[in-house]
Amino acid sequence: MRAKKLLFVFFLLAVIFLGFFLAVFWSIPDIGPDFDYAVVVHSDDGAVLAEFYRERRFFIPRPNIPDHVKKALVAAEDHRFYAHHGFDVKGIARAVRRNITAKSVMEGGSTITQQLAKMMLKRADRSFYRKLQEILVAFRLEWKYSKEEILGLYLNLAYFGERAYGIEAAARTYFNKPAARLDVSEAALLAGLQKAPNKYSPLRNPELAQERMMKVLREMLALQFISYDEYAEAVSASITQESHFQRKDGAPYFVDLVRQNLSAKYGNALYTRGLQVFSTCDMAMQSLAEQVVRDGVRKIELRTRPDVQAALVAIDLASGEIKAMVGGTDFSRSQFNRATMALRQPGSVFKSFVYAAALQKGMSNDDSILDETVNIEDADRGRWWTPRNSENEYHGEVSLKTAFALSLNSATVRLAQRIGFDSVSEMAERCGIRSNLGTHPSLALGSYDVTLLDLTAAYVAFATGKKVTPMAYTSIKDKNGDYVEQPASSYREVLSTDIVNKMKELLRATVVSGIAGRARAAGRPVYGKTGTTNDYTDAWFVGFDDRLAVGVWVGRDDHTTIGVEETGSEAALPIWTEFMKKVRYPDRLPLMENLISMQKINPK
C-alpha cells in the first residue's frame, strides 16, 4: 500500500512537472509585435530625414543579412550553434572549466538560442524559475524555427550599444551604412560587441574594440567560416573615430509634428510596426527656410534685443503638402512649435477674409468705403470701441483696393460692419481657420488667435479657390513593405474663380503699390499681406506665388514687444522675401495652373 502511495505521489509530481513544462513550452510569444522598432521619416525625394524611437531598431529581413554577419555572431557567441538544440551541455562544461582555471568569469555558457529566449522573456531577475523558463523557451525556439531563422531573429533584436538595437541600427550607427553592405571586419566588430556593448564600443574604446574584433576574426578563421585571404584582408582594417556616424536629424519641428500626429493616431502601436513614413518635406526648401529664419532673427535682434522667435511654413498649392516648416530658432533649446502650437493674433493679415467676404456679398474692388474714424458700441464691455489707422491718417472715400493695399483699419472695420461680422468669421472658417472666432468688431483687425499653419493654409484658398488640408506625409509602409496609409490630397471649392481673381488683385496691390513693396524683390509676381499687432508684439507676412503659399511670423514667446516699429513689413516680410528669392522648385512641384487637372486631387 505504501509503495502504491509513493508511486502515486511520483506520478502526480511528474504530471505537474510535465504540465508546467508544456505550459512554458507552448507559451512563447510571437516575435515582432512585442518589440520596438524605430520610425523612419523620409523627405519627399526618399532620402532619410530623421528617426524617432524608444529603441533604435530597424527590421531587416533574414535574406538581407549577409552570411558573414551571421557567421561572425556564431564565432563570437556560440561555436556549437549548429550542433546543439538550444541547450549546450558541452559548452557549459567548457565554460565552467575555463572559468575555474582562470579563477574568474571568462566565458558564459548560454547559447545564442538561450540569449534570444532571454530577450523574449524581457525579465532581468535571476531566479531558478526564470532560468528554467529560459531553457524551455530555448527548446521551443529550436523546435519552432530553423537555425537561420533564429540567427535572423537574434540579429534583429540584440542590443549593440549606443542605443542601437538590431544589426541594421548598429550598422547605421557605427559605419553609416546598411547591414547588407557590412564587410567581414565590420561584421566581426559588431558581433564582438555582444560580449559587452559599452566596454567594446568603438566610439568609447577603439583599442579594445579593435582587440575584440581581431579575436572574433581568429575564431572565424579557426571555424573555417572565412579563408585565410579573407582573414588577412579583414585584420588589416583599422578603427578610426572619424569613420563613425553621428546622426543629426533634419527638419526637427516638422518631424516632431509628424511624430505627434502619428502618436495620436497609433498610440503604443506606433513603435511596434517598423513604420517608414514618406513625408512631404523638401529638404532644399527646409534648409533654406531654416537659414532665412536664423539670419532674419539675427538682424532683428541687432536692432532690438535677444530672444526673438520666428516661424515659417511653406505649402504646395497643388497638393496641400507642407514642403518646409520652421517652428523656432533653435529646436535644441525649445521644442515648442510656433508654427502649429502658438496661438497669436494675426493683425492685418486677417483683413483678407473681410474683403473676401465682401466680394462674396457681391461687392467689387472698385466699390468705395469711407476711411474715417468710426465708433462702435461694445455692449459686452459697456463702452465704445474706436479703431485707429496707423499714424492717425485718414483718407476719406477710398476704393476697396486702396483700403486693402494701404491696410486702412477704419475703412476695413466699416466694411466688416456693412457686410456683417458673422460673415467675416464664416469666411475665415470656410477657408480653413480652425481656432474659435467670435464676432466682436475687432475680428476685422485680427484680434482672435490663430496658428501660422492654419493661416498659411487658408491663404491657399485665395490662390486656388479651394480649401486645403495640409499634409505632412503621402504614405506609410510597415517593416514588411506593406502600405499602412496612403492619404490623398483633398480640396473643397470655397471661392469662385471670379473672387479668386479679385483677391489676387488686392493681394498684388499691397506688393505693387502698398505697404509690402519689399516683396517685389522676389523677382516674379507674388501676392500677400502684412500684419502687425498692438505694441509690435506680432509681425506677419503671408502670401503666395504660382506654386507655394508661405507664411512667416515673428514675435516673442512672452508676448512682449519685438521692438519699436518692428512691423510685419519690417520684421516678417524680409524673411519671406529672402525665402521666395532663393527657393528653387523641383519638377515634382507643379504649377498652380495644373492643379485642376491633377488626378490625385479628390474634391470633398
Single out the catalytic residue among 348, 423, 425, 569: 348
Bridge partners (DSSP) of residue 552 are: 312, 541
Closest C-alpha among 221, 217, 219, 222 to residue 237: 217
DSSP characters over 565-602: T--IIIIIHHHHHHHHHH----TTS--GGGTTT-TT-E
Helix (H, G, I), strand (E, B) or coil at 58: coil
Give the count of beta carbons closer than 10 Å to the beta carbon of residue 519.
26
Please give the grid coordinates belonging to residue 120. Answer: 523574449
Cell of 46: 526618399
Long-range Cβ pairs for the range 30-37 (8 Å, 24+): 31/120, 31/153, 31/157, 32/59, 32/272, 33/272, 34/120, 34/122, 34/272, 35/157, 35/272, 36/165, 36/271, 36/272, 37/271, 37/272, 37/273, 37/274, 37/275, 37/479
Given the DSSP bridges, would you call strands 483-485 and 473-477 parallel, antiparallel or unpaired?
A: antiparallel
Q: Is 77 a catalytic residue?
A: yes
- CA–CA gap between residue 267 and residue 211 (Å, rounded): 44
Separation CA 111–CA 92 (nearest Å):
9
Instruction: Based on the residue annotation, tell me whether 319 is a catalytic residue of this protein.
Output: no
Closest CA to 575 of 252, 283, 295, 251: 295
Contacting residues for 53 by C-beta, under 8 A, at least 6 apart: 36, 37, 38, 39, 271
| Type of residue found at 258 | V
Q: Which of 77, 168, 290, 578 is flagged as catalytic?
A: 77
Task: Evaluate whether 424 touches 414 at the Cβ level (below 8 Å).
Answer: no
CA atoms within 13 A on the CB side of 333: 6
Sign of CA dihedral 26, 28, 30, 34: positive
**Strand, helix or coil for residue 137:** helix
Q: What is the DSSP string of 528-561?
A: EEEEE-GGG-EEEEEEE-SSEEEEEEEE-TT---
Residue 41, strand partner residues? 50, 277
Active site residues: 77, 348
